[in-house]
Every structure is written in C-alpha cells, then in structure tokens.
Amino acid sequence: MTDNKTALVIGAHFDDCECGSAAGTSAKLVKSGWRVVFLNTIGDNLEWCETEARNMNLVEKSRQAAQVIGAEKIFLPYKHNRFMPEDRNAVAAVAKVIQAVDPELVFIPWPHDNHYDHERTARAAMEALSYINRFAGGKPVEVRLKEILAYEISTWQTRDFAPDLFVNIDHEIEFTINAIKTFSFLSKEAINQYVEEKRARSRSWGIGAGVSYAEGLKHLGPMFPVKSILPEIFGNDLIPAGSTQYPWGKKFF
C-alpha cells in the first residue's frame, strides 16, 4: 500500500477504538502500510477522573494504547456523559477531522447502543460523513472516502449487531490485548473483563469465519450496490458472514 492510504476509526471514549471490533482490523491495516487515526469525541473525563492530572494521565495512556496498535490518537473536547444530541458544533468538529485526515476508510460505532455517548457519537459521525464540506467549512475538498463500516464497541452495550463480514485477526489479537492492558488507571478487574470479552467475542466470530479469532463489521456504504475495497486489502482474511455453510460464501455447490 502507498503512504497515502488512511483509515479513520471514530469512537466516543478513550478505550472504544482499542476495545471495539475494529482494533485488530486497524492493526492489520497498519501492517499493510496504512495510516490509522483513532478519533475520540470524549476528551473531558473530569467528572469521572475527578482531577485534571488524572484526566491527563488517561489521555496519555490512551495515546500509548493506540500506539501499541500502530494508530495515532485525536481527542475532541466533549464531556463524558455530556455529549448532547443535535449538537451541530460536535458534528462540525467531527467533520473537520474527517476533512483534515482525508480517509479512504472510516469505521464508526454501531449506532444501536445503550450508552448515550456511543449512540450520539455514531449519529454525529454519520451526519458529518454525509455533509463533510458543509459542516467543516473553509475551502471545500475533494473527499477520497471509499467505504464506511460500523463496528461493535462491546457486546454488553450494543443491540442487534449482526456482522456482514469478518476479518481474520489471528495475528493481531495480541496487539489488541496489549493495547487494553495499557489502560493501567483502570482496576485490574475492569482490564480482565475487557480482555476476556475481547477474546470471547473474537473467538465466537472466529468460529463463524473458520479461523481462530475474527472481528465483525457491517458495511454502511457509501457505494450502492455494495462495492467494497476490503477484498483487495485483506484478500483471504476477509470472510463474508455465513460463508462456512451457504452457497454465496464458500463453493459447496
């Protein structure tokens, strides 16, 4: 891949991109020569961290976690549990990052999520992606965006997430685990829960994909009929959901 291949992964909180079902895929993209940028809308965690020093430590550890995967990290200044719906300034802020990063691939959280910050971040991302130049302002740019995919932040928060495709992350699973372990400000119990959930979810999807570990994604467009650039990126490591049994997947017929 050439140096200008860029992917943007949008999440709400400091750990969404590292814990969600696009983390191993991001590591795989980095290995293929892509630039990967993680955008977190929630950069102000003072309500949870209690002091500015702890918030700064959280931000620094989050950058280190992204670096384990090989990604860059950008924070927006919105408050934890205070990311308001219909905030046009937030949509504009996301659109400005999209315009500046100029990605070919964008991963957003699955919008059917019980956490309001997750849901509102997904909605803001969708709106920003629909009208990038309108919300970002300044001189309009020719957008290189080729594909938008949704990922699951966590199994205990999302609803109705059924992957359209799987990405084999057998060689990337440990990058995601090590990234999660970087969040040393969390309790040992919380880190263990995140790690166990990541392994269990990736193993479950791996069974469906016919590999040891996989991540599930949903194709959101923008092309119709569906035209994905993922096959040329991942080759045999991209597996359509249901491919182990049905004729539109592996050729049993």
Instruction: Evaluate whether residue 124 is within a structural domain.
Output: yes
Both ends of the chain: CA-CA distance in Å?
35
Instruction: Evaluate whether residue 250 is within a structural domain.
Output: no
Q: What is the pLDDT of residues 15-58, one digit of tens each?
A: 999 999 999 999 999 999 999 999 999 998 888 888 888 888 88
Instruction: Evaluate whether residue 150 is within a structural domain.
Output: yes
Range of the domain at 102: 6-240
Instruction: Evaluate whether residue 246 is within a structural domain.
Output: no
Instruction: Evaluate whether residue 85 is within a structural domain.
Output: yes
Alpha-carbon dihedral sign for residues 9, 10, 14, 18: negative
Packing angle of the helix pair 52-69, 23-31 (nearest 10 deg): 50
Instruction: Evaluate whether residue 165 is within a structural domain.
Output: yes
Instruction: Evaluate whether residue 197 is within a structural domain.
Output: yes
Instruction: Kindly state the average pLDDT of the residues 228-237.
Output: 94
Q: What is the DSSP string of 216-239?
A: EEEEEESSSS---SHHHHHGGGEE
Strands (DSSP E) found in 111-181? 147-151, 165-168
Domain count, the chain: 1
Q: What is the pTM of this model?
A: 0.92
**Residues 140, 246: Cα–Cα separation, whole Å:** 45
User: Is the predicted pLDDT of residue 1 greater than 50, yes or no?
Assistant: no
> Which residues is 7 bridged to in the sheet?
36, 105
Q: What is the pLDDT of residues 116-146, one digit of tens each?
A: 999 999 999 999 999 999 888 888 888 899 9
Give the CATH number for residue 142: 3.40.50.10320
Residue 110 phi, psi dihedral angles, 5° rounding? -65, 125
Q: What is the pLDDT of residues 57-114, one digit of tens each?
A: 889 999 999 999 999 999 999 998 888 766 788 999 999 999 999 999 999 999 999 9
Instruction: Evaluate whether residue 194 is within a structural domain.
Output: yes
B/e letters for 121-131, b = 16+ CB within 10 Å, e = fewer, are bbbbbbbbbee
**Residue 116 is encoded by which pair of tokens?**
């309001």
* The total number of residues written for the chain in this structure: 253
